[in-house]
Amino acid sequence: MRVVLLGAPGSGKGTQAQRLMADHGLPQISTGDLLREAVASGGELGQRAKDAMDAGELVSDELVLGIIRERVTRADCGDGFILDGFPRNLAQAEGLEPVLAAINQSLDAAVLLAVEFDVLMRRLTGRRTCSVTGKLLNIYFSAQSEIDACIDAGGELVQRADDNEQTIGNRLKVYREQTEPLIEYYRSAGLLQVVDGEGEVDAIYQRLLDCLGLNPA
Protein backbone atom coordinates (compact mmCIF):
# COMPACT_ATOMS: atom_id res chain seq x y z
CA MET A 1 0.00 0.00 0.00
CA ARG A 2 1.31 3.42 -1.02
CA VAL A 3 -0.04 6.28 0.99
CA VAL A 4 0.54 10.01 1.22
CA LEU A 5 -0.18 11.49 4.65
CA LEU A 6 -1.30 15.09 4.23
CA GLY A 7 -1.76 17.59 7.00
CA ALA A 8 -0.39 20.76 8.56
CA PRO A 9 2.77 20.72 10.67
CA GLY A 10 1.63 19.25 13.99
CA SER A 11 -1.31 17.34 12.52
CA GLY A 12 0.23 14.06 13.71
CA LYS A 13 1.55 12.66 10.44
CA GLY A 14 4.81 11.49 12.00
CA THR A 15 3.15 9.88 15.01
CA GLN A 16 0.60 8.01 12.91
CA ALA A 17 3.16 7.00 10.27
CA GLN A 18 5.38 5.52 13.00
CA ARG A 19 2.49 3.37 14.20
CA LEU A 20 1.61 2.21 10.70
CA MET A 21 5.24 1.29 10.20
CA ALA A 22 5.40 -0.66 13.46
CA ASP A 23 2.13 -2.55 12.90
CA HIS A 24 2.04 -2.98 9.13
CA GLY A 25 5.70 -2.91 8.12
CA LEU A 26 5.18 0.03 5.80
CA PRO A 27 8.30 2.20 5.85
CA GLN A 28 7.70 5.79 6.95
CA ILE A 29 9.38 8.14 4.52
CA SER A 30 9.59 11.51 6.20
CA THR A 31 11.38 14.10 4.10
CA GLY A 32 11.68 16.24 7.25
CA ASP A 33 13.53 13.42 9.08
CA LEU A 34 15.71 12.68 6.04
CA LEU A 35 16.59 16.36 5.71
CA ARG A 36 17.37 16.67 9.46
CA GLU A 37 19.69 13.65 9.15
CA ALA A 38 21.37 15.27 6.17
CA VAL A 39 21.86 18.51 8.16
CA ALA A 40 23.24 16.60 11.16
CA SER A 41 25.73 14.68 9.02
CA GLY A 42 27.11 17.99 7.75
CA GLY A 43 27.26 17.01 4.07
CA GLU A 44 26.59 19.17 1.06
CA LEU A 45 22.93 18.22 0.79
CA GLY A 46 22.33 19.20 4.40
CA GLN A 47 24.08 22.52 3.94
CA ARG A 48 21.80 23.31 1.00
CA ALA A 49 18.70 22.47 3.07
CA LYS A 50 19.58 24.08 6.41
CA ASP A 51 18.78 27.75 5.79
CA ALA A 52 15.32 27.00 4.36
CA MET A 53 14.56 24.64 7.25
CA ASP A 54 15.67 27.12 9.91
CA ALA A 55 13.35 29.73 8.39
CA GLY A 56 10.42 27.33 8.06
CA GLU A 57 10.53 27.62 4.26
CA LEU A 58 10.42 24.73 1.83
CA VAL A 59 13.66 23.18 0.67
CA SER A 60 13.99 23.10 -3.15
CA ASP A 61 11.74 20.71 -5.04
CA GLU A 62 14.71 19.35 -6.96
CA LEU A 63 16.56 18.40 -3.78
CA VAL A 64 13.53 16.81 -2.13
CA LEU A 65 12.44 14.92 -5.25
CA GLY A 66 15.98 13.55 -5.51
CA ILE A 67 15.75 12.24 -1.94
CA ILE A 68 12.36 10.64 -2.65
CA ARG A 69 13.49 9.07 -5.92
CA GLU A 70 16.39 7.39 -4.15
CA ARG A 71 14.33 6.33 -1.13
CA VAL A 72 11.27 4.76 -2.82
CA THR A 73 13.42 2.53 -5.00
CA ARG A 74 15.05 0.82 -2.00
CA ALA A 75 14.16 -2.82 -1.36
CA ASP A 76 12.14 -2.13 1.81
CA CYS A 77 9.57 -0.18 -0.24
CA GLY A 78 8.64 -3.19 -2.36
CA ASP A 79 5.29 -3.61 -0.59
CA GLY A 80 4.62 0.08 -0.22
CA PHE A 81 5.42 3.05 1.98
CA ILE A 82 3.95 6.01 3.81
CA LEU A 83 4.99 9.43 2.60
CA ASP A 84 5.07 11.79 5.57
CA GLY A 85 5.59 15.47 4.78
CA PHE A 86 5.96 14.91 1.05
CA PRO A 87 4.65 16.20 -1.31
CA ARG A 88 4.46 19.75 0.07
CA ASN A 89 3.39 21.60 -3.10
CA LEU A 90 1.92 20.93 -6.54
CA ALA A 91 5.30 20.67 -8.26
CA GLN A 92 6.32 17.89 -5.86
CA ALA A 93 3.00 16.06 -6.28
CA GLU A 94 3.37 16.21 -10.05
CA GLY A 95 7.03 15.23 -9.80
CA LEU A 96 6.16 12.17 -7.76
CA GLU A 97 4.05 10.64 -10.51
CA PRO A 98 6.86 9.82 -12.99
CA VAL A 99 9.05 8.64 -10.09
CA LEU A 100 6.41 6.04 -9.19
CA ALA A 101 5.57 5.23 -12.82
CA ALA A 102 9.23 4.38 -13.40
CA ILE A 103 8.95 1.61 -10.81
CA ASN A 104 5.44 0.55 -11.92
CA GLN A 105 3.80 1.91 -8.82
CA SER A 106 1.05 4.38 -8.04
CA LEU A 107 -0.56 5.84 -4.95
CA ASP A 108 -3.45 4.06 -3.24
CA ALA A 109 -4.60 6.96 -1.08
CA ALA A 110 -3.84 10.45 0.16
CA VAL A 111 -5.08 10.83 3.72
CA LEU A 112 -5.61 14.28 5.20
CA LEU A 113 -5.30 14.48 8.99
CA ALA A 114 -7.65 17.36 9.76
CA VAL A 115 -6.76 19.44 12.86
CA GLU A 116 -7.89 22.95 13.96
CA PHE A 117 -5.35 25.77 14.18
CA ASP A 118 -5.26 26.22 17.98
CA VAL A 119 -4.65 22.51 18.51
CA LEU A 120 -1.81 22.62 15.96
CA MET A 121 -0.15 25.44 17.88
CA ARG A 122 -0.18 23.54 21.19
CA ARG A 123 1.04 20.38 19.54
CA LEU A 124 3.93 22.18 17.86
CA THR A 125 5.05 24.36 20.77
CA GLY A 126 4.79 21.38 23.17
CA ARG A 127 6.43 18.81 20.92
CA ARG A 128 9.56 17.06 22.22
CA THR A 129 11.54 13.96 21.24
CA CYS A 130 13.10 11.63 23.80
CA SER A 131 16.87 11.71 23.17
CA VAL A 132 17.23 8.04 24.13
CA THR A 133 14.17 6.26 22.72
CA GLY A 134 13.36 8.67 19.87
CA LYS A 135 9.74 8.61 21.01
CA LEU A 136 7.64 11.65 20.11
CA LEU A 137 6.16 13.30 23.21
CA ASN A 138 4.26 16.47 24.05
CA ILE A 139 4.60 18.39 27.29
CA TYR A 140 0.90 19.38 27.13
CA PHE A 141 -0.65 16.12 25.95
CA SER A 142 1.59 13.14 26.81
CA ALA A 143 0.85 11.07 29.93
CA GLN A 144 3.26 11.80 32.79
CA SER A 145 4.21 8.10 32.75
CA GLU A 146 5.47 8.43 29.13
CA ILE A 147 7.55 11.48 30.02
CA ASP A 148 8.90 9.71 33.12
CA ALA A 149 9.82 6.68 31.00
CA CYS A 150 12.07 8.90 28.88
CA ILE A 151 13.71 10.56 31.90
CA ASP A 152 14.14 7.19 33.68
CA ALA A 153 15.86 5.82 30.56
CA GLY A 154 18.40 8.64 30.97
CA GLY A 155 16.85 10.67 28.16
CA GLU A 156 16.17 14.35 27.70
CA LEU A 157 13.16 15.98 26.10
CA VAL A 158 14.62 17.61 23.02
CA GLN A 159 12.80 20.36 21.14
CA ARG A 160 13.26 20.58 17.38
CA ALA A 161 15.16 23.69 16.27
CA ASP A 162 12.23 24.74 14.05
CA ASP A 163 9.57 24.29 16.76
CA ASN A 164 9.93 27.87 18.01
CA GLU A 165 6.98 30.26 17.68
CA GLN A 166 8.33 32.37 14.84
CA THR A 167 9.30 29.44 12.64
CA ILE A 168 6.06 27.63 13.50
CA GLY A 169 4.06 30.65 12.27
CA ASN A 170 5.93 30.57 8.98
CA ARG A 171 5.58 26.82 8.56
CA LEU A 172 1.81 27.10 9.00
CA LYS A 173 1.69 29.95 6.46
CA VAL A 174 3.73 27.89 3.98
CA TYR A 175 1.34 24.99 4.58
CA ARG A 176 -1.73 27.11 3.85
CA GLU A 177 -0.26 28.69 0.74
CA GLN A 178 1.63 25.80 -0.82
CA THR A 179 0.48 22.48 0.63
CA GLU A 180 -3.26 22.97 1.09
CA PRO A 181 -3.88 23.05 -2.69
CA LEU A 182 -2.87 19.37 -2.67
CA ILE A 183 -6.16 18.57 -0.96
CA GLU A 184 -7.99 19.48 -4.17
CA TYR A 185 -5.30 17.86 -6.29
CA TYR A 186 -5.81 14.49 -4.62
CA ARG A 187 -9.58 14.94 -4.38
CA SER A 188 -9.68 15.40 -8.16
CA ALA A 189 -7.56 12.29 -8.59
CA GLY A 190 -10.11 10.33 -6.50
CA LEU A 191 -7.47 9.52 -3.87
CA LEU A 192 -8.40 11.85 -1.00
CA GLN A 193 -9.61 10.55 2.36
CA VAL A 194 -10.15 12.83 5.36
CA VAL A 195 -9.55 11.64 8.91
CA ASP A 196 -10.41 13.66 12.03
CA GLY A 197 -6.91 14.22 13.46
CA GLU A 198 -8.02 15.55 16.88
CA GLY A 199 -8.36 13.61 20.11
CA GLU A 200 -6.47 10.62 21.47
CA VAL A 201 -3.63 9.21 19.37
CA ASP A 202 -5.15 5.71 19.58
CA ALA A 203 -8.57 6.85 18.40
CA ILE A 204 -7.05 8.77 15.47
CA TYR A 205 -5.02 5.68 14.57
CA GLN A 206 -8.15 3.52 14.53
CA ARG A 207 -9.88 6.02 12.23
CA LEU A 208 -6.83 5.96 9.97
CA LEU A 209 -6.79 2.16 9.84
CA ASP A 210 -10.52 2.14 9.04
CA CYS A 211 -10.09 4.54 6.19
CA LEU A 212 -7.19 2.52 4.75
CA GLY A 213 -9.13 -0.72 5.14
CA LEU A 214 -6.48 -2.09 7.50
CA ASN A 215 -8.75 -2.73 10.50
CA PRO A 216 -9.88 -6.33 10.84
CA ALA A 217 -13.67 -6.41 10.23
Which residues are the active-site residues?
Answer: 13, 88, 127, 160, 171
150 is a site residue for ligand AMP (CB under 6 A): no
One-letter amino acid at 110 equals A
From the DSSP assignment, how many helices (H) and strands (E) are in the chain?
Answer: 10, 8
Torsion sign (Cα): 43, 44, 47, 52? negative
Contact 106, 2 (CB under 8 A): yes
| Residue 139 DSSP one-character state | T
Residue from 88, 123, 127, 207 in contact with ligand AMP (CB under 6 A)? 88
59 is a site residue for ligand AMP (CB under 6 A): yes
Rg of the chain in Å (alpha carbons): 17
Query: Least Å distance between CB 163 and ligand AMP?
Result: 9
Sort strands 81-84 and 2-6 into parallel, antiparallel or unpaired. parallel
Residue from 35, 93, 107, 115 in contact with ligand AMP (CB under 6 A)? 35
Query: Least Å distance between CB 85 and ligand AMP?
Result: 3
Contact 111, 4 (CB under 8 A): yes
Contact 82, 17 (CB under 8 A): yes
Residue from 52, 136, 183, 214 in contact with ligand AMP (CB under 6 A)? 52
Residue from 19, 128, 135, 171 in contact with ligand AMP (CB under 6 A)? 171
53 is a site residue for ligand AMP (CB under 6 A): yes
Nearer to ligand AMP, 83 or 209 (CB): 83
Q: Which residues bind ligand AMP (CB under 6 A)?
A: 9, 31-32, 35, 52-53, 56-59, 64, 85-86, 88, 92, 162, 171
